[in-house]
Structure 1
C-alpha cells in the first residue's frame, strides 16, 4: 500500500480484523479477530502506526499501518469508550471465566480466590470444586482446611484505565455501596 492509501485506510474508527497466529505445531489456520483503530500516529522513524483495540480488550496494540496481519474493513464508526468505574462482574468480563452452580470465581495473580455470592454454602461448594478441578487438589482435608479460611465481605469491582497493569481491581466496600457485591475471599 502506498502512504496515501494507508492514510486513507488507517483512520480512527475504522473496523479491522487482526490475524492471530496459531502455534507452529498447530495445523489449523490462523484466525482473524475483530477490532477498531483507536488512533493513528507517526513514529519517530516516519512509520504510520495504527493503534488497534481488539473487541473485548481494554488495551490497544501499536501496529505498523501496513502490517500484513491487519485487514481494514469498510466500516468506520465512533470508537466506543472503555467502561470505567464500578461494575458488577459477569462471565463476559476478563478474569471471570469459571462458574459453578451459577457462582463466579476469580483467581488473582497471587493465587487468592473470590467467590461472588452471599451464600456461604454455595461459596464453599464453588471454591472446593475450583480447587479440585483447576488446582488438582484431591485431599479433602486440605480443601476443608482452606474453606475454613474463607472471609466474608463486601467488595466493589472497578475498571482500570487502558493499558493499566490489570483490567480491573477488587476493592473493599460496605453493604449498600454502589455496585457492591457480597463475596467470600480466600487469601493465599
Structure 2
C-alpha cells in the first residue's frame, strides 16, 4: 500500500508549477495549483491554456514548485469567438480550423465556402482516410453555411464548449460551414 503523501510548504493554492506527465518526464508544462484535497493529499493543477484540472500527489516527481503565487484565474464562461486553437478543433488546413463532433458531423470555421470545402476535403482524406474523390466531392457538396455561437461549459461538463445556432447579429455569432452526419 502506498504511504499517504504529506503536503510540502510550497503546496498552496495559486502556486505556479511546472508539470510533466508520467510518460514524458522531460517536458514540463506551466500551470497553477487550483485546489488541495486531504485524505489522501492531492493537488489539482490546471495547466496554462487548459480548462480541466489534473490530480496528482504533492510528492509526484513530475511536479516542480515555482516561487510565484498568484490568484487562481477564473475559467472563461459564456460565449466566445473561437480561434481554432481551443481543445476540440481536430485539424486545420490553410488557416481554417475543422472540428468533428461525436455524431460525425463537422464544421469548418470560416464563412468562405471554397476554403471550407478545401479544409473539409483535406480532413476527410488525411484524418478519416477517405480516398474516393467522388465521395469526397459528394460530402463537401452538403456543406451548409450556418450562423452559430460557441459557449464555454463548466469544467466538469462533457465538453469544453458547445456550438449552437445563433442569430447572425448576436454577441459572438460566427459563420461556419457545417457538414451534417448522415
1:35 to 31, 34, 41: 31
In the alignment, is the contact (CA less than 8 A) between 2:22 and 2:62 conserved in 1? no
Q: TM-score, normalised by structure 2?
A: 0.88
Q: TM-score, normalised by structure 1?
A: 0.86
What is the correspondence of 1:5-154 to structure 2 with a 5 Å cutoff? 6-22=7-23, 30-43=26-39, 47-154=40-147
Q: Distance in 2 between matches of 1:129 and 1:32?
A: 33
Q: Which digits, 9 at most, give the CA deviation of each residue in 1:53-104, with x for residues without a partner?
A: 1112111122222223222111111111111111111132112252222222
1:109 is displaced (CA, Å) by 2.5
Q: Which digits, 9 at most, give the CA deviation of each residue in 1:83-132, with x for residues without a partner?
A: 11111111321122522222221112232110111122221121112211
The residue that corresponds to 2:170 in the other structure is 177
Q: Distance in 2 between matches of 1:30 and 1:110?
A: 37
In the alignment, is the contact (CA less than 8 A) between 1:15 and 1:34 conserved in 2? yes
In the alignment, is the contact (CA less than 8 A) between 2:98 and 2:106 conserved in 1? yes
Q: Distance in 1 between matches of 2:26 and 2:124?
A: 34
In the alignment, is the contact (CA less than 8 A) between 1:21 and 1:30 conserved in 2? no
Unaligned ranges ≥5, structure 2: none
Q: Distance in 2 between matches of 1:96 and 1:69?
A: 28
Where has structure 1 moved over 3 Å in runs of 4 or more? none
Q: CA RMSD in A?
A: 1.8
Q: Alignment length, in residue pairs?
A: 177
Q: Distance in 1 between matches of 2:114 and 2:55?
A: 46
